[in-house]
Amino acid sequence: MARKADALILCVPTPLNKNREPDISYIVETGKAIAPHMAKGCLVVLESTTYPGTTSEDLREVLEAGSGMKAGKDFHLAFSPEREDPGNPGSALAEIPKVVGGYTPECLRKAIALYAMIVKTIVPVSSCRVAESAKLLENIFRSVNIALVNELKVVYQAMGIDIWEVIEAAATKPFGFMPFYPGPGLGGHCIPIDPFYLTWKAREYGQNTRFIELAGEVNTSMPEYVLHRVSDALNERRAAIKGSRILIVGLAYKPDVDDERESPSYELMDLLESRGAEVSYYDPYIPVIKSTRRHGRWAGTESVAWEREIVESFDLVLVATRHGSVDYRELARWSRCIVDTRNAFKGIPLPSGKLWKA
């Protein structure tokens, strides 16, 4: 297959290993697999999110060694980050500008010619490393801003101020402000992971990434904060986490998707269970939990059915993801006590003491 291809686009996973360091083995192994079959003059583009230098150093070396050809001379090499917004129906591939960096000017020209066939706007940059860095900046920007509102959520909560109302008011400013929203922790396979690719590479240059580390610290402390709020809510009802039946609503890491990789809901389920709660979940997109590397303990667990008697049987409902298809008015009526991390009950009247924001 690779032998006949004029262009090869690699978009393999780039996770962190157990020491939270970049694991580029998928890129390296894929490079090794395709190298012996690459045709002279072909174009290889890496799209995986990764640290600066991966394309022009790590991948190039593997491709050159396996093919016996030289990048920029016998084949072309480029980096163009994948930009996708799963669950957003407005994010059509052709409409999302594509950043492209080439190993040489000719590599860039070839990569532009390829993507111009499918994408309306190409954003050429001077090197693969700039394109890799741009993608990291995009994700670090999100991570840091989410951490900021998560921190403010805790501070304002202590002051009796609702962060959601504060953000809504601030977002009316027509310039210089972009709203980010708090949550029970970071999820997905990009924002919690990618920033640490830069942290790792920066060390090679004797540089620290304090914003990234701090954002990571704040964001990873969120499930514990939610746990405290659950504990407070139960305490008001003369109950404890131990022995309580708790329903997590929303297992996916973001609204309206069926992807639960790195979802903070797992963290919440683990924490609650370790404190002695009996935990179930409801997610219309995930009827049963598949086997995962990190949360194998939950594999095979099924979503509860959306029925009044079932929801009523729980001591507390914890909303972790705000799916558009969930009927929150119904949930408000059926639940005994609610902890809401997503402002899902905005505008829904509830008796005092029933709703706890977290």
Residues with a known catalytic role: 190
Give yes or no for residue 209 binding ligand NAD (CB under 6 A).
Answer: no
Window 39-78: contact mask with ligand NAD (x via CB under 6 A): ---------xx-----------------------------
CA-to-CA distance for 121 and 127, rounded, in angstroms?
18
Contact window for ligand NAD (CB under 6 A) among 81-89, 150-158, 175-183, 222-230: 81-89
Size of the site for ligand NAD (CB under 6 A): 14
Q: What is the DSSP-derived secondary structure letter of residue 35?
A: G
The residues with which 100 forms a beta bridge, in sequence order, are 124
Q: Which of positions 164-193 make contact with ligand NAD (CB under 6 A)? A: 189-190
Q: What is the DSSP-derived secondary structure letter of residue 16?
A: B
Least distance to ligand NAD, CB of residue 31, Å? 10
Nearer to ligand NAD, 61 or 85 (CB): 85
Nearer to ligand NAD, 12 or 122 (CB): 12
Least distance to ligand NAD, CB of residue 218, Å? 22
Neighbour-count burial for 166-177, b at 16+ CB within 10 Å, e otherwise = ebeeeeeeeeee
The residue number whose beta carbon is nearest to ligand NAD equals 48
Window 9-28: contact mask with ligand NAD (x via CB under 6 A): --xxxx-----------x--
C-alpha angle 187-188-190 in degrees, rounded to nearest 5: 115
Answer left, alpha or beta for residue 185, where phi above 0 means left and psi between -120 and 50 means alpha: left
Exactly one of 6, 29, 217, 327 binds ligand NAD (CB under 6 A); which one?
A: 29
For residue 77, the surrounding DSSP H or E stretch is strand 76-79
Q: What is the 3-state secondary structure (H, E, C) of 223-259?
A: HHHHHHHHHHHHHHCCCCCCCCEEEEECCCCCCCCCC
Nearer to ligand NAD, 182 or 195 (CB): 195
Contact window for ligand NAD (CB under 6 A) among 7-15, 140-148, 175-183, 294-302: 7-15
299: helix, coil or strand?
coil
62: helix, coil or strand?
helix
Nearer to ligand NAD, 53 or 72 (CB): 53
Least distance to ligand NAD, CB of residue 67, Å? 18
Nearer to ligand NAD, 12 or 310 (CB): 12
Nearer to ligand NAD, 104 or 145 (CB): 145
Give yes or no for residue 143 binding ligand NAD (CB under 6 A).
Answer: no
CA-to-CA distance for 66 and 76, rounded, in angstroms?
15
Least distance to ligand NAD, CB of residue 139, Å? 8
* Of 194, 187, 200, 175, nearest in space to 146 by CA: 187
In the numeric block, which tokens belong to residue 123?
Answer: 């954003």
Least distance to ligand NAD, CB of residue 287, Å? 20
* Residue 205 exposed, middle or buried by CB count within 10 Å (0-12, 13-18, 19+): exposed
Strands 98-102 and 76-79: antiparallel
Least distance to ligand NAD, CB of residue 340, Å? 26
Nearer to ligand NAD, 82 or 273 (CB): 82
Give yes or no for residue 84 binding ligand NAD (CB under 6 A).
Answer: yes
Exactly one of 23, 58, 74, 82 binds ligand NAD (CB under 6 A); which one?
A: 82
Nearest-Å Rg of the Cα atoms of the chain is 23
Token match 């000719």: residue?
A: 106
Least distance to ligand NAD, CB of residue 120, Å? 19
For residue 334, the surrounding DSSP H or E stretch is helix 328-334
Positions that interact with ligand NAD (CB under 6 A): 11-14, 26, 29-30, 48-49, 82, 84, 86, 189-190
